[in-house]
Structure 1
Amino acid sequence: MTTIPFIRPGRKLPIGIQSFEKLRSEGFLYVDKTAFVYQLAQAGNPCFLSRPRRFGKSLLLSTLEAYFMGKKELFKGLAIEQLETEWKQYPVLHLSLNAENYDSPEKLENLLISQLQEWEKQYAITDINQSFSIRFMNVIRGAYEKTGLRVAVLIDEYDKPLLRNFHNPALQQVFREMLTAFYTVLKDADPWLQFVLITGVTKFAQMGIFSNLNQLNDISFDTTYSSLCGMTREEIETTFEPELHVLASANQITYDEMMQKLTRLYDGYRFTYADNTPPIYNPFSVLNVLIKQHFNYYWFASGTPTFLVEMLKQTDFDLRKLDGTEATSSSLSDDRADVNNPIPMVYQSGYLTIKEYDPEFHMYTLGFPNEEVKYGFLNFVTPFYTSIQESDTVFYIGKFIRELRSGDAEAFLTRLRAFFADIPYELNDKTERHYQVIFYLVFKLMGQFTQAEVRSAKGRADAVVKTPDYIYVFEFKLNGSAEEAIKQIDEKGYLIPYSADERQLIKIGVDFDPEERNLGDWIIEQE
């Protein structure tokens, strides 16, 4: 009988906690990142860090704020306690743009004015100028003159107003001008600055915000800081060991099975091309599953990527190429958004991650980091191409799978034909790619519950589905016949890789009629 470790009363998981002081003073568990904080602070360079939402950027800045303010008592027992000896109390200017909706210029103006007034009061600055840039410069210089120490500037979610209005160019232009004037002060204020860190989801200024901040050191891809945000497996198992055992018990699986599932769902992020760095787990999802003891798509459900899907459709990007697409290293770190190339934006938003790197050509291969992102994204985009609503995808896909599990390929194809017939005209652009994307979505989504592969390489079947008793090999022909599809399966040897398998092999050839926008004839043959 397995003994479940006893969890001491009061073990508190820091989900949603963005204040380091609150986290430490109220006894929340903490994955110790303070060695990184010390290293970053000692380097002294003005830095920029891009990470997906809910990856701990706000907590990182709050930790840096506590460090620069000299709050030594909050760091007791942490790595930095053995590294720092002076604990000076620097003036800190911490600006967070995370709270507002930014649906009007007044929202950003009010936030900046409120923050500037607070700083001006704190450092007794009475010469108030109407210009945001001059006021910010006066605050930095005034803080330095009053304390005798250089200033630490921390800006959280710098790009929030811009991302909120990605498809409102007029409002974006207003925000761009306001923020550019505000941020570019940091270059001329360098004599009075001890440290600068700006964080955001993307580096895209589309916007020119970084055009004058060329002194910023972009650490987003630095191997040294690859695990600055997020959690490694070692950190998770060290910090949350009792909670992990409870999670395994609650789901009636072994500890090893639980860790495998945790890894499949939430691991896989890579923010550097170096092979020797550990992959990163999504901290928001890990903390949620440990609290709720139920595996789910927590991070994906906390914010939908509507603007990314619209961008993919606007650029006519082939959705089938998203997982496994290539991108140059320069495009991923560029600060210019290109609506004709959505991949860098999709990557920086956390829906793709680095899978491989080719040092000769400086090319990255990108892919979905894990099953949460993969199936969360595919479920989300399905309504953009089909009649299925996101909440109904499991219902529809479940029916497809049950029919294949029972060996009823005829019922599966009949349902698939009805599915295509139900697609509203306005969602169907009559192109071959549209049909192919719908097939891709159906078979990929089946992969949540059974082994389903959608092939694209030459010399392989269009799709393969494996159930406990059957292996199905599909070939679809546009402007062709079901007989031609079956013939291709035979001549190309698509069944050969599965010939040693004990399961029943079934080959299915289907012709697709572009005029009817639906399946035509099909042939089902058992081996």
Structure 2
Amino acid sequence: MLVTGRKLPIGIQTFEDIRNDGYLYVDKTALMWTIANIGKPFFLSRPRRFGKSLLISTFEAYFKGRRELFTGFAVEELKKKWEEHPVLHLDLNARKYTTPADLDAILNQHLERWEAVYGEEKRDRASEERFAYVIRRASEQTGKGVVVLVDEYDKPLLQAIQNEPLLESYRSTLKAFYGVLKSADRYLRFAFLTGVTKFSQVSVFSDLNQLNSQTERHYQVIIYLIFKLMGQFTQAEVHSSRGRADAVVKTPKFVYVFEFKLKGTAGQTLQQIEEKGYTLPYAAEGRQVIKVGVEFSAEKRNVERWMVEEEK
């Protein structure tokens, strides 16, 4: 029989409630911190009841600078400077969508709430125009990049899957709305969208093509997550006196120092590790230090080549 003084957070989707009410929480904040610091637009597709809403809520607390909610968690050590960013949280999960007016109503509800804080655009403007205005105003008023969080981006589409005219109406509205994230990129600090199904880019995200852009950091986070799933202790962007290593993995007998290149060769990555002295902090630990240079291919979206060299 399991005996515990902590409550299980069954059905709890708000990070603040979990922390303030003493629920159990498995610390995933190191992964959250990595995602929050490797780029702007992210899309997460997972089935329902897989923790997407809780992750969105955790991001919201993080970007609002709620440090007190993260006491004792990994992110408390990773985050050196806590700042509050304006957060625009769009939740499409709490409504049934049977007509185009239903989608318009939920977008208008969120827009009115944001406009009450950051200023109002003319009400006769389209929802995407008002959205763009709110993002710009929020950034200008606070001097900070705006964080946009969208929970269940595809719920209206899923509910109209057997009604082609209604589906096309929803698709058109959401395509224009989400497309603002591309035009407003300079005002954004971070954008994260979750959903159940990944619709083709042509249907919804053709105006938001940077969701599929391949950057060096995109590959870094994939490698980092693989190591974490393997149970390896992994440090990302480890600073030294002359630069920072992309990743460091430690085992009882070895220290692996990684450098990644999207536009460069595996040989160049090894050269950078050597020239920048990324391995120096581990010379006195008594473990074998191994340098790993990894070259990615944007065309293949995979590892193109890697080179390994033992520190002598």
TM-score interval w.r.t. the shorter chain? Answer: 0.5 to 0.7
Correspondence for 2:191: 196
Q: Secondary structure at the match of 1:53?
A: coil
Equivalents in 2 of 1:224, 1:109: separation in Å? Answer: 39
TM-score if structure 2 supplies the norm length? 0.68
The Cα offsets for residues 427-459 of structure 1, whole Å up to 9 and x where unpaired, read as: xxxxxxxxxxxxxxxxxxxxxxxxxxxxxxxxx
Correspondence for 1:524: none
- Please show how residues 59-74 of structure 1 align to structure 2 within 5 Å: 59-74=54-69
Distance 1:223 1:56, change over 3 A: farther
- Please show how residues 28-427 of structure 1 align to structure 2 within 5 Å: 28-205=23-200, 208-217=203-212, 222=222, 224-225=224-225
CA contact (8 A) 2:131 2:177 kept: yes
Distance 1:34 1:172, change over 3 A: same
CA contact (8 A) 2:52 2:194 kept: yes
Equivalents in 1 of 2:224, 2:197: separation in Å? Answer: 20
Structure 1, unaligned stretches of length 5 or more?
A: 235-332, 334-358, 360-527
Offset, 1:224: 3.8
Distance 1:51 1:41, change over 3 A: same
> 1:171 corresponds to which letter in structure 2?
L
The Cα offsets for residues 24-72 of structure 1, whole Å up to 9 and x where unpaired, read as: 1111100111001111111123111111111111111110000000000
Q: Secondary structure at the match of 1:184?
A: helix
For the aligned residues, what is the CA RMSD?
A: 2.6
Offset, 1:223: 5.1
Equivalents in 1 of 2:227, 2:46: separation in Å? Answer: 11
Correspondence for 1:316: none
CA contact (8 A) 1:176 1:207 kept: no
Distance 1:5 1:107, change over 3 A: closer
Aligned length, in residue pairs: 228
Distance 1:53 1:223, change over 3 A: farther
Tell me, yes or no, if structure 1 residue 7 matches structure 2 residue 4. Answer: yes
Distance 1:227 1:101, change over 3 A: farther
> 1:182 corresponds to which letter in structure 2?
F
TM-score if structure 1 supplies the norm length? 0.41
> 1:63 corresponds to which letter in structure 2?
T
Equivalents in 2 of 1:123, 1:152: separation in Å? Answer: 14
Structure with the higher strand share, 1 or 2:
2
> 1:42 corresponds to which letter in structure 2?
N
Equivalents in 2 of 1:129, 1:143: separation in Å? Answer: 20
Distance 1:198 1:225, change over 3 A: farther
Tell which has more relative contact order, 1 or 2 (C-alpha 8 A, sep 6+).
2
The Cα offsets for residues 57-102 of structure 1, whole Å up to 9 and x where unpaired, read as: 1111110000000000000011101111111000001101111121
Equivalents in 2 of 1:124, 1:27: separation in Å? Answer: 37
Correspondence for 1:447: none
Q: Secondary structure at the match of 1:194?
A: strand
